[in-house]
Amino acid sequence: MVLTLPMAGLIKQHYPKCKVYFLGRSYTKDIIALSQFVDVFVNYDDLEKLPQAEQIKQIESLKADVIVHVFPVKQIAQLAKAAGIAQRVGTTNRLYHWFSCNRLIRLSRKNSDLHESQLNMKLLSFLNIDTIVTLSKMPDYYGFTKIPVLHEEYRQWIDASKVNVILHPKSKGSAKEWGLENFSKLIRLLPKERYKLFISGTAQDGAQMQEFLKQNPDAMNITGQLSLQQFIAFISHCDALIAASTGPLHIAAALNKKVVGLFSPRRPIHPGRWMPIGRHAHYLVADAQCEACAKKQECNCILNIEPQQVVHLLEENYEQL
């Protein structure tokens, strides 16, 4: 979701008077709300509860000229056609797009060497604009200017005299994880007099990490205590975040926080596709030439990333944090 939002920034750069709608699920609303380049959020969870005829009416009422199917869903593609949206953009590798879309973009994510954010930009090539955006320029298109206000009770957790770092160990299955043992080693390596550490995650994550949390009292447990909106606000008040390839990693990168992403080099989950994009974003892999990962075999080489490497990246330009 985060890596889709720069599309709105590129559209607005070329068509500043246009209106950008973002059709998404309820859980994405607080992320989409961050971007100054999105004008209206349309909740698909609410839309799909309606009878089909009413769904069509709702889409018609938007008076949209174009729909771009970034995350392809057959029902949405059919709905857009039924609602008479004039330009319906999809990829050639979805069979149903041949029947529901009238602008087809040849795009293969699986075999591409481009980053996910760059692949998304390719879907705008029908607008006859330059969709080649370097990763160094990509942060210009996030537009994350509408940051929510952090509640005072959470603001008090921040220690202004220290570097405030969020450690996000779990991924809910969305990424290869670095392991709790490595996070424990990292906590021990970071001097308490200089760093204030927070361990984040869902309430379920907290339940799974009970022993880890007990063993690391120097890091404050904030799992399950913040809504997504308040977690975003909290990230904006911290200095850095360490995580595998997860949503919080990308949110923090887009908020121009120092981030260290921990990655496996195996396709399609490798950093070339999913590295965090931001002005202070970094990533690590243990062995970029891992033979098992090159063969797309299941591999835990991510566990071999040394905690000291993470410390080194955090310590770089420490005074600027």
User: Is there a domain that residue 1 lies in?
Assistant: no
Give domain status of residue 147, yes or no.
no
- Domain end residue (candidates: 112, 141, 170): 141
CATH number at residue 86: 3.40.50
Rounded to whole angstroms, the Cα distance separating 260 from 311 reads 10
**Residues 169 and 120 both lie in one domain:** no
Last residue of a domain, one of 122, 141, 160: 141
Do 170 and 313 lie in one domain? The reply is: yes
Judgement on whether residues 168 and 199 belong to the same structural domain of the protein: yes
For residues 211 and 301, state if they share a domain.
yes
User: Same domain, yes or no, for 130 and 210?
Assistant: no
Tell me: do 124 and 158 sit in the same domain: no
Q: 164: which strand partners? A: 196
Number of structural domains (the chain) is 2
pLDDT at 321 (0 to 100): 53
Q: Rounded to the nearest 10 degrees, what angle do helices 228-237 and 247-254 cross at? A: 50
3-state secondary structure of 285: strand
- In sequence order, the 6+-apart residues with CB closer than 8 A to the CB of 70 are 4, 7, 120, 123
- Please check whether residue 146 lies inside any domain of the structure: no
Question: What's the predicted TM-score (pTM) here?
Answer: 0.95
Query: 79, 107, 141: which is the final residue of a domain?
Result: 141
72 and 219: one domain?
no
Q: Please tell me whether residues 54 and 117 are part of one structural domain.
A: yes
Predicted pLDDT of residue 320: 55
Amino acid at 210: Q
Q: Residue 45 belongs to what domain range? A: 6-141
The pLDDT score that the predictor gives to residue 109 is 87
Q: How far apart are CA 278 and CA 286, in angstroms?
A: 22
Rounded-to-integer distance, Cα 157 and Cα 225, Å: 12
Q: How would you write the pLDDT of the chain (321 residues) with one tens digit per residue?
A: 999 999 999 999 999 999 999 999 999 999 999 999 999 999 999 999 999 999 999 999 999 999 999 999 999 999 999 999 999 999 999 999 999 999 999 998 888 899 999 999 999 999 989 999 999 999 999 999 999 999 999 999 999 999 999 999 999 888 999 999 999 999 999 999 999 999 999 999 999 999 999 999 999 999 999 999 999 999 999 999 999 999 999 999 999 999 999 999 999 999 999 999 999 999 999 999 999 999 989 899 999 999 999 999 999 865 555
Domain membership of residue 256 (yes or no) is yes
192 and 274 belong to one structural domain:
yes
What's the pLDDT score for residue 284?
97
Q: Which residues face 167 on adjacent strands?
A: 199, 242
Secondary structure E strands in 28-109: 40-43, 66-68, 87-91, 103-105
Residues 209 and 301 in one domain: yes
**H/E segment holding residue 66:** strand 66-68
The CA-CA-CA angle for residues 286, 292, 293, to 5°, reads 60
**Distance separating the N- and C-terminal Cα atoms of the chain:** 27
Q: Is residue 247 domain-resident?
A: yes
Residues 194 and 87 in one domain: no
Q: Are residues 295 and 167 in the same domain?
A: yes
Are 37 and 152 in contact, with CB atoms under 8 Å apart? no
The span from the CA of 60 to the CA of 64, in Å, is 7
180-189 vs 307-315: helix axis angle to the nearest 10?
Answer: 50
CATH number, domain at 254?
3.40.50.2000
Q: Is residue 270 part of a domain?
A: yes
